[in-house]
Chain A
Amino acid sequence: MQNDVVLKMRGITKQFPGTLALDEVDFTLNKGEIHALMGENGAGKSTLIKVLTGVYEKDGGSIWVEGGEGEAHIHSPQDAQNIGISTVYQEITLCPNLTVAENMFIGRTSGQVVNWKECEKRAGEILSNLGIPARPRQQLGTCSLAVQQMVAIGRAVDMQCKVLILDEPTSSLDDKEVESLFKLMRDLKSRGVGIIFVTHFLEQVYEVCDRITVLRNGQLVGEYPIEELPQVELVAKMMGKSLDDLADFEAVGEKSTGAKEVVYEANGLSSTDCRPYDFSIRRGEVNGFTGLLGSGRSESVRAIFGADRVTGGKVRVKGKDVKITNPHEAMKNGIGYLPEDRKRDGIIADLSVRENIILALQVMKGFFHPMSKAQMKQFADEYIKALQIKTASQDTPIKSLSGGNQQKVILARWLLTHPDYLILDEPTRGIDVGTKLEIQKLVLKLAEENMSVTFISSEIEEMLRTCSRLIVMRDRKIVGELTGEQLTQGYVMKTIAGGEQ
């Protein structure tokens, strides 16, 4: 082991039922460096971190930590802390009702009686040492999120940590708060702490990191010094494309872009989770939002549907000014939305396939206008056939269907309401290739029948195949709108990556 290596992971393998989450992954962290761990959803970043922090037991491979004798055995978060690995999570894992000092020392004092005076004194030293703007006796809940995050880091640092893992620490911070967090990170780096930085924000990576390790589908793609991996190449690696693919100008199929009337138009639409943006879609058009995970693409369409609290903007549906502040109003205006997380927002697991199909229509009609059983059966049958949903019967609980078939049921739910405008957020995630193609075909067919569709997917090929217009987002901002000739893999990725080439 070299002198400046603080953490070495070799051949880490982790198996979950049905998937190989980590496949022989290597990771090396040096003293005094900030090391970005990058990858799209399902790449294995969080699994790797959880193995390192003892939340998961690894199935294979070994871990060495500087100063430890031989291999490190990490079976619990406590073990990880004891050998100098500390983690600061995305959500703040402190107690808002306690004081800053208590949060820094609780759970790691010895003896039954705690000398809080002493703790407050030491907390004060750490805070001023690291330049964290908090007072030891202040109640944590009165600090801003960034300061709370820093207090968590202060606690971690005081535990003699050699390896500090920051798991998306910036996702809820504003620009100024991010800046002060970075200052703290650089300061720790100069003191020799090795920092693993996980984030979705590409620009932040290039601002603070020294090296990047990229994972994809549970495998190591590679480890690169930051100056050798331009932003666009990083995106290509995360998405599993080589630069050759980027140069490859793929022919784009003919898609109708006829000048039909605008179905939906928004000016300066914003919600609690997305910044103001303009957007419109024409009858029979298929467009898409693209960008990396966390770029704000889902948040933007959720605002259209009123799924998050809408905070501003003018909306026109078919030329009429309307207000859409909740999903019910969106539905009444002919907008349907298939959510990204079907387990959480979509299916009602214990209800039958039929009841799940009927749901949206029933909500639209109002609960005081029940449909007859025969009518419900007829609707359900019609759509089970049309979408080729594989289910034992329409009375089967939806939870016993496969993911792809569940997705089709939810799709059927929205088609039944005959929306003018349908938003599909990652409709093909986690379903098999055959069903994916079916859904893509269905989208194009719906567009031919004059329905407008917004399609979101992590797979660019899929978007290129279906969309005639792509809205590209990065770091919660729209950075480009691509049509016609611009719709190629290379161009899309360059737009996603942005920045200097």
Chain B
Amino acid sequence: MAGAPTSLHMGAAAQRRLRRRYAREFRFKAVSLGALGLMALFLVGFIGGIVAKGWSGFVTTEIRLDVTYSERHVDAGDPAGGGFRPIVVEALRKVIPEATERDDMRALLGLVSNGGFVAVRDAVAEDPSLVGKAVEIWVPAASDIDMLVKGHVDRGLPEDRRRTDDRTIGFVDRLEAAGDIRATFNWDFFTTGDSREPELAGIGGAVLGSFWMLLVTFLVSFPTGVAAAVFLEEFAPRKKWVDVIEVNINNLAAVPSIVFGLLGLAVFLNVMHLPRSAPVVGGLTLALMTLPTIVIATRAALKGVPPSIREAALGLGASPAQVVSHHVLPLALPRLLTGAIVGMAQALGESAPLLMIGMVAFIVDLPSGPMDAATALPVQIYLWADSPERGFVEKTSAAIVVLLAFLVAMNGVAVYLRQRFEIRW
């Protein structure tokens, strides 16, 4: 070496090598960054597309009706049994008086959703003193009208290629000009059950169904999973059968979810005779699916607690059960809960196993408990995506937005728990 000017780290060759290393470094970073960028692009494209299509699903079109409950159509003794179609037509003809022919009447009736007639009936059924009086009611518009007002119908097309004819479009324009059509936030979307009419369909039933299902899943899989993991990690002897169980649990985590559906069908429906379509069955089935995830996450969390804690507790005279319940488990809890929440989020997004146990169903009534027939959020999305009515396109996207919001919230809680409470050793 002797201070020669052309040492290993100097001179032209060394400089070239160094430049190559920097270039390689740069390329490596660029590729990684590119991969991240691509992912972000996919995500933005996906979410952007869903939100762009879905936002109008949260808005609904309403028509103002100047309803007069004349005694001719409604009997004060039995207000709910009245004839409400003529009442609606009369209300609309206050704005469009020249609509007198039969076809005009039919077009006028077609403006209002089925739910609108129900709303007109319910108003007088609740308050029979309205008979003989006039009131203003905003009722939902029929889906085709909703689509028209939202601009999803190309008015330039020839009449026979549209679902809404020129007569109806003319009526809608008249009502709009008179200020009798408004767009409002669709609160009912969150509180009502499914419907075959896109303008009346809501995800309330599916959200409740998912809630009851996840409650059962959590109550079953969390305690069972944690207990199994505690045994395997803290108490199990190092024997061959323990290894076999371990391999099997890891395998179970990779089994396709439809298989759990088949298992649920065989055990919970055919043997235990639990009711079909009930969230309790869905919850138990998903609990089977979530168990391995929770066991694996719990074991990782328990492994993260340093042995010195256990030894110190044992040294001070704690029994092995006390060591686990007083020291190891509480210290592992944040990571353990994180794992459980991620498992729950997975279960929330699952639809394949529910197909086998009858939760892919049309259910209007809201489930009031885990034994009532219900459907779940991802299933509701699937059912709407498969419907021919154009109005379900935006409902599908809107339901996806709601599902994504729940998933983001759950994963957010998991991240928060980890950052806030996790102890790093």
* Chain B associates with chain A: no
Which residues does B use to contact A, with CB under 8 Å?
none
Which residues does A use to contact B, with CB under 8 Å?
none
